[in-house]
Chains A and B, each alone.
Chain A
Amino acid sequence: MNDLRRPPTPSGCRDTPILKQRGQREVFCGLTGIIWLHRKMQDAFFLVVGSRTCAHLLQSAAGVMIFAEPRFATAILEETDLAGLADAQTELDKVVDQLLARRTDIRQLFLVGSCPSEVIKLDLSRAAERMTERYAPSVRVLNYSGSGIETTFTQGEDACLASMVPVLPATADRQLMLVGALPDVVEEQALSLLSDMGIGPIRVLPAPRADTDLRVGEGTVFALTQPFLGDTHAALQRRGARHLPAPFPFGEAGTTAWLRAIADDFGVDADTFDRVTAAPRARARKAIAQASEHLRGKSVFFFPDSQLEIPLARFLTRECGMTAVEVGSPFIHKGIVGPDLDMLAAGPTLSEGQDVDLQLDRCRAARPDLTVCGLGLANPLEAEGMATKWAIELVFTPVHFYEQAGDLAGLFSRPLRRAALLKLEAAE
């Protein structure tokens, strides 16, 4: 099943057959989403109900941040909790009481399901309802699953946002909603570009605090800023909101196409659009041209990680002159990444899911100039003489929209520049 031939497509990858494999997957679970989500939602606390493994994962993934006493923790299941289920609910109540007594500033509490809590079928949604009544009106308790058996890495954010949509107040007003957690600086740039075109009101999901005027309804149109928001997309549509399909705002072309999709829906005229975007577009093009000097003509191979792979491959191939060998994604939602697939030139293998050993075989055979992969694979591949870019950084670093376009290209060119700079072997 490795050598699936692609039928020739004139342009774009939307109809390219997708290589689907299952086997060992070298990916994070959805719990990792907590690490950036809690920074974004300033009055929320994320309580994972899981095992010591879950706590250890958060600690390892959060690196040094864990020492800043973040707003997340794990209620570690112990042997007694596994014995009887009724007991587990009372235990959970105790832990939450203890937590909220200490943290009076918390307004939203997320009970986050894990593999162990899903397998023993601990009913966290009932627990969340019960606790919402108990702590109303000061704290709202929600639940979602970040378990590895159900979610991969950034899907944790999707599950979290989707859990908030049903409880948003209703509104019929015409409004734009931007969906996806972005670094504050990036979010402000996006808001200012759109406002300058006269588009408004604009709301953002997730909001920084629980008490903002975030509402949803028939008059809402929403644009996704991140590609991994399939469930949130569906939940918003269930509330009557309408999706604006667009390529994701990476690079100059991506950002422009993304803005244009919104501008068109709000009837912004071409002159206004050009007036607002001309200067930042020029800046972005210049920055990309400089930063991508080392990328032109190079090949890139993506291991699946965050679902950002397809839009990023589109950016690297169209705007930085790279060729893509394989673009792996943990999950491909064509309704969401379709516009990016249209803009991605035919050629690369598209793969969904993973059998990591087989994928490594393909990667070694292709010897790409740059491999985008997780930290578990990066150093081993470097040791085999392959340049790598570790993927997690792309989720934490500001990379969206015009002003970050040069930085985004820089993230990929730095490993190649470094490989060229280092002279570690003695002369032959």
Chain B
Amino acid sequence: MKLTVWTYEGPPHVGAMRVATGMTGLHYVLHAPQGDTYADLLFTMIERRNHRPPVTYTTFQARDLGSDTANLFKSACQDAYDRFQPQALIVGASCTAELIQDDPGGMAETMDLPIPVIPLDLPSYQRKENYGADETFFQIVRALAKKVDRSAQISCNLLGPTALGFRHRDDITELTSVLSDMGISVNVVAPMTASPSDIARMGAAHFNVLMYPETGEAAARWLERELDQPFTKTVPIGVGATRDFVTEVAAITGVAPYLDDSRLRLPWYSKSVDSTYLTGKRVFVFGDGTHVRAAARIARDEMGFEVVGLGCYNREMARDIRRLAKDFGFEALITDDYLEVERAIEALQPEMILGTQMERHIGKRLGIPCAVVSAPVHVQDFPARYSPQMGIEGANVIFDTWVHPLVMGLEEHLLHMFRDDFEFHDAAGPSHHGGHTPAPSADAGTAPLPSRDISEDPKSPGGADVIWLDAAERELKKIPFFVRGKARRNTEVFAAQRGVHEISVDTLYEAKAHYAR
């Protein structure tokens, strides 16, 4: 058993739902207890889909346990087929149904439905959401994709985008245009936008673009082996990666490399003098393996940040990310426990976090600016506006997204510098947290939040035997908030190493000189 509050990933059947919901003409019959339909609202609310996910749940209850659940499954299967008339069906079990061992695949096969029925075996107690998506897509491809004649024009499939994917919708558009500029057409985008009949004609493509290894790699490898379609290894997020991607596609297809960068603004924006203050900003990167790899490269090579730590939550990418971290000269953090991530961030005191929704909240608590670069994300990261991560426009979007909290950081700095002015005061708060209330009032019947619960004591790591003298404490408060935590920690470590028990203003500045970069 493992004590958990947050989970970076859902169970594997949610991954299967992401594939089914992204596709059309496919229906998923999920053997699951009443209540598992909660996952529908991820799609209807977070992604704001205008239709119900194409999933039929058997919703068995306690009184059904026993032989009855098998019949329940069969009738749910038949009803789903009759009502929705899908081109193909996927069937599987959620975590509870896995325990009662009804074998949905076997039962569905005996029903002789006139469409392909693809059984899914998703081990809920070992694997997670991304595996579920990858495996489901792989099984669908394996069951439906056939050898067909190659298209006359050079074409490719885009593999990996799913429902609930971080910016998948716009990445498809951006990548399609990058490829089109090279004279390459897109044969099938899958699973998102594809129907089972589209899957059947995937073989017409000359090669595959693996957009997201987390959700498309198993299918890409199978297509390479069975249909002789090579797949791309570079994920085109960032300027350098996009250029590498174009080179890689050119090498696979033999067409001339071409990238229309007339709208690309990241390099100039990053070079312009206004960006000088970004130099050496210490950033911590966390998320899924693919986005972390891309973000780390952009941070170092295209923004001039210093990457002080990185890691991912999906075990499947652990090896890759460990190797990447070694290149940066430190150990990767591979964990799905947000408390470990929080401890790592607290210890490193970065000036910025690039992470997921969880890191955004860790950052909020520690007062560190954060930009979201990876799932899991909340509703605000399924924006109405065009905002890809991939390709030319993706680079522009990333520059704005990452710099935005920092510009605001400077603004806050100014606020603090002038806080003794009559127009500024501590209660004014940061300007970008629109509509902030000066002090939480007792409204709407909600009790005050407990400050910190299942987490470690955030107090000074330097040890309890170091005391801050009043003058030093006052001096510390003059330091801008976004480096204050680091200054406090460095000073305490400095003092502890020298056996100093009382921190004076002098100690503070000696430590500052010691750590000067």
Which residues of chain A have a CB within 8 Å of any CB of chain B? 23-32, 39-40, 42, 49, 51-53, 55-57, 59-61, 64, 66-79, 81-82, 88, 91-92, 94-95, 98-99, 102-103, 115-116, 118-120, 147-150, 152, 183-186, 357, 374-380, 382-383, 397-398
Measured CA separation A29–B83 after assembly (Å)? 26
Give the contacting residue for B40; candidates A26, A49, A51, A95; CB below 8 A.
A26
Tell me the number of A-to-B contacts counted with CB atoms below 8 Å: 207
Question: Does B479 interact with chain A (Cβ within 8 Å)?
Answer: no
B41 touches A374 (CB 8 A): yes
Select one of B7, B35, B445, B455 contacting A28, CB under 8 A.
Answer: B35
Q: Closest B residue to A375 by CB, please name it.
A: B41
- CB-CB under 8 A from B455, the residues of chain A are 69
Contact A52 B37 (CB under 8 A): no
- Could you tell me if A39 and B447 are in contact, using CB atoms closer than 8 angstroms? yes
A contact residues around B36 at 8 Å (CB): 29, 53, 148
Partner of B37, one of A25, A56, A94, A120: A25
Question: What 3 A-B pairs have minimum CB-CB distances, sorted nearest first?
Answer: A148-B35, A29-B35, A183-B445
CA gap between A78 and B123 in the complex, in Å: 11
In the bound complex, how far is the Cα of B446 from the Cα of A40, in angstroms? Answer: 9
Majority-rule SS of A interface residues: helix
Contact B450 A380 (CB under 8 A): no
CA of A51 to CA of B94, assembled, Å = 10
Q: Which of B32-63 contact A (CB under 8 A)?
A: 33-42, 44-45, 48-52, 56-62
Instruction: Find out whether the CB atom of B128 lies under 8 angstroms from the CB atom of A398.
Output: no
Decide: A377 and B4 in contact? CB cutoff 8 A. Answer: no
Chain B, interface residues (CB within 8 Å), range:
35 or more
Interface string of B422-461 (1 = CB under 8 A from A): 0000000000000000000000111101101111000000
A-contact 0/1 string along B364-396, CB 8 Å cutoff = 100000000000001000000000000000000
The contact sample of 28 A-B pairs, CB cut-off 8 A, is A23-B59, A24-B57, A24-B59, A25-B57, A26-B37, A27-B34, A28-B38, A52-B9, A55-B7, A56-B14, A57-B38, A60-B42, A61-B38, A69-B455, A70-B450, A79-B125, A115-B35, A148-B34, A148-B35, A148-B36, A186-B445, A374-B41, A375-B45, A376-B44, A379-B48, A379-B49, A380-B51, A398-B444
The answer to whether B96 has its CB under 8 Å from any CB of chain A is: yes
Report the bound CA distance from A29 to B39 in whole Å.
Answer: 12
The closest CB in chain A to the CB of B5 belongs to A73
Contact check, B454 vs A73: say whether CB atoms are below 8 A apart: yes
- Taking CB as reference atom, which chain B residue is nearest A377? B52
Q: How far is the CB of A98 from chain B (nearest CB, A)?
A: 6
Taking the complex as formed, is B361 at the interface, i.e. its CB lies under 8 A from any CB of chain A? Answer: yes
Chain B residues with CB below 8 A from A98, complex form: 3
Interface pair B76/A67, CB less than 8 Å apart? no
The complex places the Cα of A31 from the Cα of B34 at a distance, in Å, of 12
Contacts of B95 in A (CB 8 A): 51-53, 115-116
B65 on the A face (CB < 8 A): yes
Which chain A residue shows the least CB distance to B358? A67
> Could you tell me if A379 and B7 are in contact, using CB atoms closer than 8 angstroms?
no
Is residue B513 within 8 Å, beta carbon to beta carbon, of the partner chain? no
A149 near B50 with CB under 8 A, answer no
Determine whether the beta carbon of A52 is less than 8 Å from that of B452. Answer: no
Instruction: Report the separation of the CA atoms of residues A374 and B34 in the bound assembly, to the nearest whole angstrom.
Output: 14
Interface-centre pick from A51, A91, A377, A397 (highest chain B CB count, 10 A)? A51
Instruction: Give the complex CA separation of A382 and B9 in angstroms.
Output: 29
Contacts of A150 in B (CB 8 A): 61-62
Q: Which of A49, A69, A184 contacts B450 (CB 8 A)?
A: A69
* Complex: chain A residue closest to B95, CB-CB: A51
- Write out the residue numbers on chain A whose beta carbons fall within 8 Å of the beta carbon of B445: 183-186, 398
Most chain B beta-carbon neighbours within 10 Å: one of A30, A40, A56: A56
Known A-B contacts A52-B11, A66-B6; the reply to A152 vs B34 at CB < 8 A is: yes
Query: B446's closest neighbor in chain A, by CB?
Result: A39
Q: How far is the CA of A79 from the CA of B125 in the complex (A)?
A: 5
Q: Which of B7, B49, B99 contacts A59 (CB 8 A)?
A: B7
Residues of A within 8 A of B40 (CB): 26, 375-376
Instruction: Decide: B37 and A76 in contact? CB cutoff 8 A.
Output: no
Asked, given contacts A51-B124, A69-B454, A380-B52, whether A99 binds B449 with beta carbons under 8 Å apart, the answer is no
Question: Whole-angstrom distance between the alpha carbons of A99 and B4 in the complex?
Answer: 11
B498 at the interface (CB under 8 A from A): no
User: Counting CB contacts under 8 A, is B261 at the interface?
Assistant: no
- B1, CB-defined interface residue at 8 Å: yes
Q: Which residue of A lies closest to B63 (CB)?
A: A149
Task: Tell yes or no: B226 within 8 A of A by CB.
Answer: no
In the bound complex, CA of A206 to CA of B1 (Å): 29
Asked if A51 meets B96 with Cβ closer than 8 Å, knowing A75-B2, A148-B36, the reply is yes
Contacts of A56 in B (CB 8 A): 7, 10-11, 14, 39
| Shortest CB distance A35–B (Å) | 12
How far is the CB of B504 from the nearest CB of chain A, in Å? 35
Alpha-carbon separation in the docked complex, A27 to B32 (Å): 13
* Cβ A380 vs Cβ B453 within 8 A: no
The chain A residue sitting closest to B365, CB to CB, is: A67
Identify A91's interface contact among B1, B34, B65, B452, CB under 8 A: B1
Cα-based distance from A297 to B33 in the complex (angstroms): 39
Interface status of B497 (Cβ within 8 A of chain A): no
> Which chain B positions have C-beta within 8 A of A55?
4-5, 7
Q: How far is the CA of A55 from the CA of B376 in the complex (A)?
A: 14
